[in-house]
Amino acid sequence: MKKFVFLAILAVAVTMSACNHQEEVKPALPAANAQSQASIASLANQAIEVTVLIDGSTSNTSYSVVDLFAQRTNADGSVSYFWPERGTTTFYLTPGTYTFDSQQIYFCGTNRVTQNIVAGAQNVVNLTRWCE
C-alpha cells in the first residue's frame, strides 16, 4: 500500500512538473552568408509595426505579453512563427495574412484572430482574454 501511495504521488509530481515547463521557442536564423544577410536586411526594410490590444489595452498587467505570437502559413505550406518585442505587444512583420494568438497559461488565453497586415495602414489587432 505504501508503494502505491508513493508511486501515485510521484506520478502527480512528474505530471505537474511537465505541465509547468514552458520554453520560449524562437525560429532559427538562416546561415550567415552574404545572400541571407541581404535577405534579412531586405525584410527589415519592409517591416510593418503591428500593435496587439488585449481587452483594448497594450498595458496588460494581468496577462503575460511574452506569450503572444503570430503565425503565417507560407506558400510552400510551412508555418512561420513570430514574437513581439520583449515586454511589449508590438510586432514588426512583413505584409501578409497572420493569425494572432497566445499560449494558454494556467487555463487562461486569448481568442485567435486572423488579420491581413498591409503597409500604410494602421495595423491594430484586438484580442479578448478568457479564463476558465
pLDDT, tens digit (0-9, with 9 covering 90-100), for 69-80: 999 999 999 999
Exposed/middle/buried for 52, CB within 10 Å: 0-12, 13-18, 19+? buried
pLDDT score recorded for residue 59:
55
d(CA 89, CA 10): 39
Interval 59-72 mean pLDDT: 67
The single-letter DSSP state of residue 66 is G
Instruction: Give me the pLDDT at residue 78, please.
Output: 93
More confident residue, 117 or 58: 117
pLDDT at residue 30, rounded to an integer: 44
The mean pLDDT value of the chain amounts to 74
Q: What confidence tens digit (pLDDT) does each residue in 88-129 have?
A: 888 999 999 999 998 877 777 888 999 999 998 899 999 888
**CA quadruple 31, 34, 39, 45: dihedral sign:** positive
Which one, of 95, 82, 106, 98, lies nearest residue 48 by Cα? Answer: 95
Q: What is the CATH number of domain 48-132?
A: 2.60.40
125 vs 123: CA distance, rounded Å: 7
**Could you tell me the three cell numbers for 128?**
479578448
pLDDT of residue 84: 87
